[in-house]
Structure 1
Amino acid sequence: MENKAIRWVYDCESIDYNELSNLYKITLLGDKKAEDLKVVFSNSLYKCFVYVEEKLIGVGRALADGVDCSYICDVAIHPRYQGQGIGKSIVGKLVEFSNGYNKIILYSYPGKEDFYRKLGFAKMNTAMAIFKNQEQAFEWQLLQKVI
């Protein structure tokens, strides 16, 4: 990244949740309301915010219980900065924070599985989910209909 300093933040003290909400919109990860993001990030044990020149360009968080399970979610990289290793670094930092847990879990959007496989994640055979908007989850191919 052309000599621009990257700044990492691991707490929510100075986060602009409207900027965060916009990052999710432009990365096509959904319309997440600023007030909802404040709640979910505040309740997440681990979080990473990545800035370039005061602009939020990357984010990720992990819900974790301190011992057994850490669930990595909401990893997003600004389209202009994708392919530069930032997502890999965010996931790596969240895995590092979760070191020693019995299991570290995430789910991937279809087409991103190889990215996570390269970071050491393996496909689960028995993962199941209930989504608030179940039909949309089927449309996005996050769930499979069992016949």
Structure 2
Amino acid sequence: MEIQGKLVIRHAPPSVQQYLALRVQAGLSPMSEEGAAIGLPRSIFAVTLFEDDVLIGMGRVIGDGGCFFQVTDIAVQPSHQGRGLGKIIMREIREFLDTLPDKAYTSLIADGEAARLYAQFGFAPVAPRSQGMAFKR
């Protein structure tokens, strides 16, 4: 746990309720309570930012633990955006990524202007060589 002023940084996933609420508040797609309850404990790495015990930011790394990883759930509460919290989240994630096995492949899906943030931490577009795709039921 790192404390910067009133900001508390934890390397642990949020609760299911906190996760679901922050995703919606930050404009990410809603997830199911069932899915969050299964997925959050399986995070390979998670960072959460709290002010006064209120979750204001989060990010996770998921994957197989050896070869493939994905950065996901980067979210900051709208009332706290513009304060560099996304950079703090990505700094913590990048420090974790630097510990992964050689040649591990880490990907993410960048929505809109978020690509500029991720580029600051070493992420680059893979198109046209590769194209991100998603499956929806």
TM-score, normalised via structure 2 length: 0.82
Alignment match of 1:130 (pick from 123, 130, 134)? 134
> Are the counterparts in 1 of residues 109 and 132 from structure 2 also a CA contact under 8 Å?
no
When Rg is computed on C-alpha atoms for both structures, the one with the higher figure is: 1
Alignment match of 2:122 (pick from 120, 132, 136)? 120
Q: 1:5 aligned to 2:9?
A: no
Gap change, CA 1:96 and 1:4, over 3 Å in 2: closer
SS in 1 for 2:131: coil
> Are the counterparts in 2 of residues 76 and 87 from structure 1 also a CA contact under 8 Å?
yes
> Are the counterparts in 2 of residues 48 and 60 from structure 1 also a CA contact under 8 Å?
yes
CA RMSD of aligned residues (A): 1.9
> Are the counterparts in 2 of residues 46 and 64 from structure 1 also a CA contact under 8 Å?
no
Q: Which runs of 5+ in 1 are unaligned?
A: 134-147
1:71-90 equivalence runs, <5 A: 71-90=70-89
Deviations 1:29-58 (A, max 9, x none): 022233322222111110111100000000
> Are the counterparts in 1 of residues 9 and 50 from structure 2 also a CA contact under 8 Å?
yes
Q: Which runs of 5+ in 2 are unaligned?
A: none
The alpha-carbon deviation at position 4 of structure 1 amounts to 4.5
SS in 1 for 2:122: coil
The alpha-carbon deviation at position 26 of structure 1 amounts to 1.1
Distance 2:95 2:5 in 1: 25
Q: Identity, % of aligned pairs?
A: 22
> Are the counterparts in 1 of residues 22 and 77 from structure 2 also a CA contact under 8 Å?
yes
